[in-house]
Amino acid sequence: MTLENLHKRLLDSLSTGVIVFDHELRLGYINLAAESILAISGRQFHKAFITDIFLDFGQDLSEIRNAQTSHRSFTKRKAELHVLSGGTISVDYSITPLLEMGSASILMEVQAINYAERISKEEALISTHETTRELVRGLAHEIKNPLGGIRGAAQLLAKELPDGDLTDYTNVIIEEADRLHKLVDRLVGSRKLPELKAINIHEVLERVRNLIEAEVVDKDIHVVRNYDPSIPDVMADSEQLIQAVLNIVRNAMQALETPNVRHSTGIIELTTRVLRNVTIGPTFHRLVARIEVIDNGPGIPDDLIGSIFYPMISGRAEGTGLGLSIAHSIITQHKGMIECNSKPGKTRFAIYIPVAPGRRINTRKDTRS
């Protein structure tokens, strides 16, 4: 391995975005983390001028030119950068002039604030969720004990009743006790650890899509696929991952059936992409698969968005509030991460699952339908 290749591998292993512009402020080098943050390709934008990458960059451009002339470094906190994808990213970035042959090229280091905040938020959610689950397990144990006693007493009473018509009342007691017992079991969830093995993420999504399409056959709801077939296998328990994704997609389907929907056609989009250099919790992953479930429903109310992954939290009167809680537990057990952002007309759930060790990206085109 040459020294140049070693340097490139080291830079591509960083989670910090590194960009080098030449003395004319044209792109000379960009590492994988920066490509991921800015959603651009280094090959495609090689030699592109800085304002072809960052839109509406006037004030920042003047500061960079001043730094280039004075050979002074500076750091800008919580800068809003408008990128080519049409979005705005919040970042901290540092500018360092590199003097070469009398002219200064520019080293730009970029840290995405929104991503760091997302990691912090996810860690807090996992901690709170685990505490809540332990509390629920303890409460469930206290509930199930008297339920068993009530059910047993109702069965004994049914045998002693002289009038057979009165057994209707004992049957109600038994049936309701059984219903509560099942609800408590669902609330606690399974303690079974996932059996992780390398699986194709699209086999999971196709199973979910087939199940949902069977449920919406008489409804004006369409499932759209936007897959990246180059994604390598991920480490997952196929059945548990199907359950997690199915819960999220069903949540989207139910949102599209509410009276708040202001359009006639509901769309649920299943999207997959592969991301490089992603940190989930305390662990850095070279490759991560991202699954997105996007719907054009009414959105999640602001007062619920921060607590939707907790048990018994639901925006529907008839909802149990367990589907998303179970999905979050499954993804967490897979060493993954789940997040949600929502506004009227667009709700997006994103699942991040580590790619199986040793797997590489295949070179194939996206699949859309």
User: Which structure tokens are listed for 89?
Assistant: 């990213």
CA 4 distance to own-chain centroid: 36
- Pair 111, 17: CB distance under 8 Å: yes
Label residue 13 by pLDDT band (50, 70, 90): confident
* CATH number of the domain located at residue range(s) 3-116 in this protein: 3.30.450.20
The pLDDT confidence band at residue 362, using thresholds 50, 70 and 90, is low
d(CA 255, CA 261): 8
Name every residue whose Cβ is closer than 8 Å to that of residue 212 and which is 6 or more positions away in sequence: 223, 246, 249, 250, 253, 268
- Single-letter amino acid code for the residue at 25: L
Kindly tell me if the per-residue pLDDT of 246 is higher than 90.
yes
Which of 193-197, 199-203, 342-346 has maximum average pLDDT? 199-203
What pLDDT is stored for residue 306 in this prediction?
Answer: 74
Least confident of 1-5, 92-96, 228-232: 1-5
Mean pLDDT, the chain, whole residue set: 82
Q: Tens digit of pLDDT for each residue in 157-181?
A: 888 887 777 788 888 888 888 888 8
Report residue 314's pLDDT band, with 50, 70 and 90 as the boundaries: low
Cβ-contact 213, 270 below 8 angstroms? no
pLDDT band of 95, cuts 50, 70, 90: very high
Give the whole-number percent of the chain exceeding pLDDT 90: 29
Q: What does the block give as tokens for 181?
A: 């017992």
Q: Give the model's pLDDT for residue 42.
A: 86
DSSP 3-19: HHHHHHHHHHT-SSEEE
Looking at the DSSP bridge assignments, the partners of residue 348 are 294, 341
pLDDT surpasses 80 at 55: yes
Does pLDDT of 23 surpass 70?
Answer: yes
Q: Give the best-scoring range by mean pLDDT among 101-105, 153-157, 273-277, 348-352.
A: 348-352
- Tell the CATH superfamily of the 197-368 domain: Histidine kinase-like ATPase, C-terminal domain (3.30.565.10)
Q: What is the pLDDT of residue 114?
A: 61
Identify the residue whose tokens are 């009414």. Answer: 298
Residue 315: the pLDDT is 57
Residues 6 or more apart in contact with residue 67 via CB below 8 angstroms: 73, 74, 95, 97, 106
Contacts of 60 (CB under 8 A, 6+ apart): 54, 76, 79, 81
For the chain, what are the domain ranges? 3-116, 117-188, 197-368
Q: What are phi and psi of 76, to 5 degrees?
A: -120, 125
Query: pLDDT of 262-290, one tens digit each?
Result: 667 789 999 999 887 777 776 778 788 99
Sequence-distant (≥ 6) Cβ neighbours of residue 53 within 8 angstroms:
27, 38, 40, 45, 83, 84
34's enclosing H/E stretch is helix 32-38
**Does position 93 have pLDDT exceeding 90, yes or no?**
yes
Neighbours of 252 (CB within 10 A): 24
Residue 331 has pLDDT above 60, yes or no: yes
* pLDDT reading at 75 higher than 90: yes
